[in-house]
Structures are given as C-alpha cells and as structure tokens.
A and B are shown apart, each in its own frame.
Chain A
Amino acid sequence: MKYVLKKIKDFFRNSDGNYFPISWKGWLSFFVIMGVSSTVCSLLKNITTSDTHVPLIFVMAVLLIALTTDGYFYGLLASLASVVMVNYAFTFPYNKLDYSIYGYPLTFFTMFSVSLVVSTMVTRVKNQEKARIESEKEKIRANLLRAISHDLRTPLTSISGSIGAVLEGDDRLSENSVELLTGARDDAEWLHRMVENLLSVTRIGGDKGGALHTETEVLEEVLAEAAATFRKRSPEVEVTVSVPEEPLFVPMDAMLIEQVLFNLMDNAVTHGKTTTRISIAAKTLPGSVSVSVQDNGRGIDAGAFEHLFDGSLQLQPGKEADSTRGMGIGLSVCKAVIEAHGGTLAAANVPEGGARISFVLPLGEEGNSDDYQG
C-alpha cells in the first residue's frame, strides 16, 4: 500500500517537487477558460438543439487549462468540473444533475476519462520539456565553468612561471623582493590549484555521476604518482605510501582520484599546521578498497566535523579568513569525486595526534583478476 501511495505521489510531483502548486494565476486561467467555454456553449444552445459539441468544447477547455497551468491539479479539477458543468447546464434535464438517464453514465465516464488523459498527458509533456530545458541550462553552466577555468589556467601558468624565472634566474634580488615574489608565486600556484579543482568538478558532470569516465587502474601507480606530485611541491613534508602485497585493480578516473589525494595532502599541511609527516595507506575490504591519508598535525577541530565536506566551512564566523581558505572547495571536491565513484569519505582524529581522512572505492564487477598472470 505504501509503495502504491509513493508511486502515486511521484506521479503527481511536478518538476519543482510540489504536488499541487496552487496559485492565483492557475485559478485565473481555470475560471476564465471554464467561463469562456460555458458562454460559448450557452450561445450555441440558442442556435442549435443538438448538444454533441458540448463535451468536445469542454475537453478542449481542459486541454487549455492543463497547458496554461502548472502541475496536475488544475487539469484534474477542470476534468471533474466540466463533467459536472456539462451534465448540469448543457444536457437534458437542464439545470439539474442527473447521471441516471440511459446512456449518460457511459457518455460522462468517457468524457471524464478523455479529459483526464488529455490533462495529465499535457502536464507530463510540459514537465519533461521543463526538465530538458533545465538540464540544457546545467550543461551550458558546466561548459561555461569549464571554459572560464580553462582560460584562467594560461595566465596563471605564466604568472607563476615568470615569477619563478625571476626568482631562480636573478641572484641580485633583495631579501625583501624575494619574499614578495615568493608570496606572489605561492598565491598564483594556489589559484591554479583552485582552477584545477573547478575543472575536476566539471569533469564529474554535475551531480549525476553518470558522465564519469572510469578505467581500471593499478591503485599503487595512482598513489605513487599523487605522492610524487605532492613531494615536488612540498619537499619538506615526508610522505610515505604503503599498499597491500596483492596489486589492486580499481575502476576509477585516475586524474580525479589523484586530485582527491593531492587535496587531502594539501589540506593536511595547510590545516594540520604542524604536519611534518603524511602516510597514505591502502587496504583491501570485501568488494572495495579503502585509502587513508593520515597526518601528524594538530587534528581537526571538534566543531568543524559537521561542515567538513559541504564547502561551507569558510563561511563560519569568528575565524580569520585566511586560516580556512580553500578548505571548503578542496574537501567538497573530494567528496563529490568520491561519491561520483560510488564510494564514501570519512574523517577522524587519531589518538596519537593528527587527522585521518579515508575514502572507500568499490572494486566493480571484475574485481581482481588473477587470470591475466603471465
């Protein structure tokens, strides 16, 4: 019973998630159209004694009402109202409700069914059209984001590259200039990483996860490359990676997973403050693998857990803006990527001090195949 109820509810739900959106506009078009068709029928009653046109006019009224209103409500109401109206005002006996005359039950039942089908179909087509336009808009938005991020990369590359060339090529720079230039380069690189994060989001393809392009990768290769990239940027932090003896083949978009690992390591250093060591460890679970990134920093504030992955962390009042910069985007990208892979992400503080963020990725149907050995 519950299931049937839910099905019915889902059927009536419109694109905004409302079942029966009631508005003055809806009522207006309901009454105007019903009024016009009643008037037309009354006028025709003076010219002709036949009443076969009446149900057709009212079915058309129902169609128009369904077209001009939002949701299923007005269409249904109009179907019901027109059956009553036609019977009451335009068929014998006039100004009286009587469904018992020979042939009337079938006639009015047919009329009601036709108008009901017409109104629901029109509404459904309208909803589909709306959804299509919505997804089209979403696509345009994603393309725009991709184009912007893409165009931002070039100048950012040249800014950080040029500053780097000055810093490394000129020995006569004063200490002050070196400090200023280093700051500028670090910020340009930070912006570049943000742009890469935005590009990762567009790669996921909205929140549907269907567009993800996964290939079976050897997990240790991805972990090793991510660690190597990070070591290049932060050589002062010791990064260790450990994997199980058995090689793990995991379906994933390697670039996105590397981005996740990089964000987690970056986060461990930026927000762990005192982090000097990061250890990445992969573990086999039944049907999935878990990868954890653990640091020896100061850990995650108890109050921060709730909003850790939803991107709203930097909005919290009473904190200097700089200390939370980037935390929101980086971790929410991680969450989006892992969820698009059908996995989960969790954070905890470890008793020895420091934080551990781990994610689980499903292995997919093939799992690990030993038959390839050779």
Chain B
Amino acid sequence: MTIKDKILIVEDEKSISGFIKAILQTNGYDVITASSGGEAFSMISSHCPDLILLDLGLPDMDGMRIIEDVRRWTMLPIIVVSARNYERDKVEALDKGADDFITKPFSAAELLARVRVAIRHMRLGAAGDSVANSGRFTVGGMTVDYGRHQVLIDGENVHLTQNEFKIVALLGKCAGKVLTYDFIMKEIWGPQVRGNNQILRVNMANIRRKIEKNPAEPQYIFTEVGVGYRMAEGD
C-alpha cells in the first residue's frame, strides 16, 4: 500500500467539495472533507492532513479564524478557495498565513498545479533549500545570484538597483508563492512603511523592463492584480 498525501477540503457546499474531491482522488490524493469550521478543527487535529483547501465563507465561523488558529501550531499549507471580487479577503488570508489562493471557477489542471506547488514547498521549505545550497535561484533564462547580488538574464547582468534586487531576491526565495504588496513593502522598506504601495509598483515596472522581454507578457514575475506578485516556479 502506498502512502498518499492527505488533503482536507473545508467547504460548506457539498457539490463543490464533491467535484474537488473527485479531481484530487483521481490524481492520487487521499481526501477528507469538512463542511463547517468546527468540523474542520477536529479533522485537522485528528487527521493531520498534508494540505488544507479552505473556503472562507463557512456557516459557523469566519474562515480567517481557521487560518489564524492553524498557524499558531503548524506550518501545514493552506490554499484559500475564493470567488472573484474578493481581493481584500485574499490579501487578508495571505497576510494571516495562507500559502496561496485559487479563484473560482478553476480547472482541474489549475487546482492540481497549486496543490503540487504547496505540498512541495512544505517539503522543501519553499525554494529556500535549493537557494541555500547553490546560492542561486534559476527559472528559464533568469538567474538570481544571491552571493554577488546580481540578476542575470541569459547570462547577462541586468544591473538592478539595490531595492530592485532586494525585491527580485525576495520573490525568488518564495518562488511560486504570491507575496502581498504589504508583505514586500515591509520586507524591503521596513515595518514603519505605510499605506501607499506606489513606490513598489514603480520599482516593479522598472524591474519588468529590465528582465522581461515584453513587460506586458511577463515570463518571470506575474502580477495578481490587487493582491501582489508571484515569481514563476524555479527549475
């Protein structure tokens, strides 16, 4: 008998948890479901799942509470399932410690990709391990050289400014994960930074012009409009 990754689906709509379950089961995951927050808590502590797929709109409690509570004692990955129009919820969930989000309606391929990335991150500690070993993060033609503070595109140094490098380096360390504007701002400009993320947007627009072939068709750093930025998964 093979040991499978166990995924907990927290979703009050039976029909939705039903098809997510079907997709995950046919792709080799063990699936358990909870239809309320209370049930979710007992499932989490008794089954210790490898990943939680969480719908924020639950009948008995705010899904945010589950994220906060789980984050107090474990780093097990949480993917928030949410509808369009709820950018604020996504940002809040990510800032509270959720790993990723997926917007309804999604395809099976999209769901599976997110689940795979989240589980791998948990196993390997984000891209952190490979970055720590080699001092480099590579995706496609781009290499972030942490030792020399350089970003190379097809082997050529693109001469980022200090803050620009810091942003790319941070995204590279968390490749595949969405980092919210607030999170990046605090990491780069310090905790006292307030409100307006314009400065980050301007820096990002400049970075895009240096590393992407076409800034409107990015290959490396993607925008989740209203939420944050995401670096493509490393090789």
Instruction: Please determine whether chains A and B interact with each other in the same assembly.
Output: yes
Binds B, one of A65-73, A111-119, A128-136, A243-251: A243-251
**A residues near B18, Cβ cutoff 8 Å:** 158, 162
Counting CB contacts under 8 A, is B235 at the interface? no
- Asked whether A224 and B223 contact (CB < 8 A) given A153-B104, A255-B84, the answer is yes
CA distance A153 to B23 in the complex (A): 20
Cα–Cα distance between A357 and B225 once the two chains are bound (Å): 23
Chain B neighbourhood of A227, CB < 8 A: 216-217
Are B216 and A223 in touch, CB under 8 angstroms? yes
Contact at A154–B19, with CB atoms within 8 Å?
Answer: no
Residue of A nearest to B111 (CB): A161
The answer to whether B87 has its CB under 8 Å from any CB of chain A is: yes
Q: Answer whether residue A44 sits at the interface, using C-beta atoms and an 8 A cutoff.
A: no
Interface size class of A (residues with CB under 8 A): 35 or more
Interface of B is mostly: helix
Q: Which residues of chain B from 179 to 235 have a CB within 8 Å of any chain A CB?
A: 198-199, 201-206, 208-209, 214-218, 222-226
B216 touches A224 (CB 8 A): yes
Question: Within 8 Å of chain B (Cβ to Cβ): is A156?
Answer: yes
Q: Determine whether B42 belongs to the interface, using a CB cutoff of 8 Å to chain A.
A: no
Inter-chain contact B19/A164, CB cutoff 8 Å: yes
Q: Is B3 in contact with chain A by the CB < 8 A criterion? A: no
Separation in Å of the B93 CB from the closest CB of chain A?
Answer: 17
B-contacting residues of A (Cβ < 8 Å)? Answer: 153-158, 160-162, 164-166, 168-169, 189, 192, 196, 199, 203, 215-218, 220-225, 227-228, 232, 240-243, 245, 247, 249, 254-255, 258, 280, 282, 369, 372-374
**Extra inter-chain contacts (14) besides given A224-B218, A228-B222, CB under 8 Å:** A154-B16, A157-B105, A158-B19, A160-B105, A162-B18, A164-B23, A165-B19, A168-B109, A217-B225, A225-B222, A245-B209, A247-B202, A255-B85, A258-B225
A-B contact pairs, 20 of them (CB 8 A): A154-B15, A162-B15, A164-B23, A169-B23, A192-B105, A203-B85, A218-B201, A218-B204, A218-B205, A220-B215, A221-B223, A227-B217, A241-B216, A243-B215, A247-B202, A247-B206, A249-B201, A255-B84, A255-B85, A372-B199
> B residues bordering A, Cβ < 8 Å?
13, 15-16, 18-20, 22-23, 26, 83-85, 87, 104-110, 161, 163, 198-199, 201-206, 208-209, 214-218, 222-226
